[in-house]
Amino acid sequence: MTNFPAARSLAAHVRPLIIEPGHSANHCATCGARGESVCASIDDRNLDRLASAAIVTDVAPGKTFISEGEPADSFFNITAGTAKLYKLLPDGRRQITGFAHAGSFLGLAVSSIYAFSAEAIDNVRYCRFPRRKLQSLLDDFPALEKRLLETASNELVAAQDQMLLLGRKTARERLASFLIAQKRHALPCRHSENRIALPMSRADIADYLGLTIETVSRTFTRLKNEQLIAVPNATCVDVLDREALLSLAEGYESGD
Amino acid sequence: MTNFPAARSLAAHVRPLIIEPGHSANHCATCGARGESVCASIDDRNLDRLASAAIVTDVAPGKTFISEGEPADSFFNITAGTAKLYKLLPDGRRQITGFAHAGSFLGLAVSSIYAFSAEAIDNVRYCRFPRRKLQSLLDDFPALEKRLLETASNELVAAQDQMLLLGRKTARERLASFLIAQKRHALPCRHSENRIALPMSRADIADYLGLTIETVSRTFTRLKNEQLIAVPNATCVDVLDREALLSLAEGYESGD
DNA sequence: CGCACACTTGAACCCCCTCAACCCAAGTGG
DNA sequence: CCACTTGGGTTGAGGGGGTTCAAGTGTGCG
């Protein structure tokens, strides 16, 4: 299910990496996710400021590193892996509000309390910024604040799309939308051009799309029977008819 | 349905107010919505900068002033009335993603295209900021940018709540959540302490909650029969049992 | 080999939707 | 003044998409 068969079981589930003082200025400079993240707005000269504020941490699959309702004293910048963000109702009903990939910035709540929980799906690495330190970074680097505003705006647009999906789309349309979005997001899937990696479980997909596991599974097989996709195994999908999938996702053909 | 019986029919539906040059520095200073809006972050000395960038406009009920997919060359700050924000699917299915009240800031899309449409529900007044002018304001007043980031963060939290509602709550829970949220938002309802004004139609409520008109209506009468609310007429609701409504909204009791 | 766990498939049910009628208040015009 | 229309809201009957409950099928791993 994940690509890190060895390193997983050893690690304490939330383990800050030890960065020696002498090297602390470097890890941002060599960070592969920098280009995708808000950190790109800080130029090379000031990278050490950024690096010294960040606490790099690894999280094992299935471990929760943000809990809804707890004091929000940190911000998180995912640099590797995929995490799910979710909210719960008292009886256990769950809504996944999004998936966080390398470059995602989490914790943008003005409130002093996290509005959602976050759990690692595969091996996740993040940079954690204590609230105060990020605040001073924001004061010193207006470009960072500008970038954060852009990020928040983009997420707002995505959230509106998701509301449309949850409120008005059929199960087929939801799954098609999900696959199209996954395809856009996670291009870095070698293999075929049309292969989509699905690191999350069926339960996660269901809770993201406002459906049940069973409906997700049935809808997968239906799209498979209709030759829109192929499902070599549970962790990936091949897109066979991109056009049809796209117009389905956009709500053009609900029946048929 | 609205409180402005006279002024309505005369007005051209989108009519910029004529502000004489000599007075242009004033309308922000006397704006009742300033405290609630992002404009509060600009101090009195600089209000004229703000005022000269804003184009005040009135919109009649039912008129669309932002259209999804069109070039996003302006930002909007609602100063009076209520507007609905929505997205459409090609076959007409509609999802209302939110209601904008006095103080709401719209158009926060990085993209050059609006992600949603906006339509006035009652008589709406807004300040329109051309993209370029807002940009220069942001450059000159970091506090404004900070305030915008706060606003966006709060909306993101609200959007996540709405996703939970749309994906996982029952019709009763949705309506209860909606009523509770409306109560919080629009306190300024004289009359009773427990009266909630509902300027939007049943169709709007339905499209906001991911339901149909009929289900909204039936759910209203059910909550009424259960003595949780009273519905004197279609445009307002009295909360009779706030506790029960609240715990319903939070998902504690789905049946019964 | 056998357990565990995720996924798939089947059958019955139910909440909400669809379709349709009805109510009611506000015009509108003869 | 009343007949007619219009539009929003309510109520009823029936149907369907997705859920629930339950069993079956893999697949990895000890």
Query: Residue A162: what pLDDT?
Result: 98
CA of A96, closest CA in chain B: separation in Å? 8
Sequence-separated (6 or more) residues with CB below 8 Å from residue A82: A99, A100, A101, A120, A121, A122, A124, A199, A200
Per-residue pLDDT for chain B (256 aa), expressed as one digit of tens each? 333 333 333 344 555 655 544 444 468 899 989 998 999 999 999 999 999 999 999 999 999 999 999 999 999 999 999 999 999 999 999 999 999 999 999 988 777 899 999 999 999 999 999 999 999 999 999 999 999 999 999 999 999 999 999 999 999 999 999 999 999 886 655 557 899 999 999 999 999 999 999 999 999 999 999 999 999 999 999 999 999 999 999 999 755 5
pLDDT at B22: 43
- Strand C proximity: list residues 163-222 of A with CB under 7 Å: 201-203, 213-214, 216-218, 220-221
Picking from B38, B97, B136, B144 by the largest number of A CB atoms within 10 A of its own CB, the best residue to mutate is B97
Which of A18-22, A149-153, A176-180, B165-169 shows the lowest per-residue confidence on average (mean pLDDT)?
Answer: A18-22
Instruction: Give me the pLDDT at residue A21, please.
Output: 46
pLDDT of residue A233: 93
pTM, full prediction: 0.91
Residues of A in contact with B161 (CB under 8 A): 87, 115
Give the burial class of B45: count Cβ atoms within 10 A of its Cβ; 0-12 exposed, 13-18 middle, 19 or more buried.
exposed
Residue A24 gets which letter from DSSP? T
Length A61 CA → D20 C1' (Å): 29
Q: Which residues of A touch B210 (CB under 8 A)?
A: 166-168
B143 and chain A in contact, CB less than 8 A: no
Nearest to A95 among B90, B164, B254 (CB): B164
Q: How many other β-carbons are positioned within 10 Å of the β-carbon of residue B103?
A: 18
Task: State the pLDDT at residue B9.
Answer: 38
Mean pLDDT value across chain A? 88
pLDDT average, residue stretch A37-42: 93
Residue of B180, B163, B153 lying closest to B245 (CA atoms): B180
Inter-chain CB proximity A168 and B94 less than 8 Å: yes
3-state helix, strand, coil in chain A (%, to 5): 40, 25, 35
Q: Which residue in A119, A100, A117, A96 sits closest to A207, CA to CA?
A: A96
Contact by Cβ (8 Å): B65, B126: yes
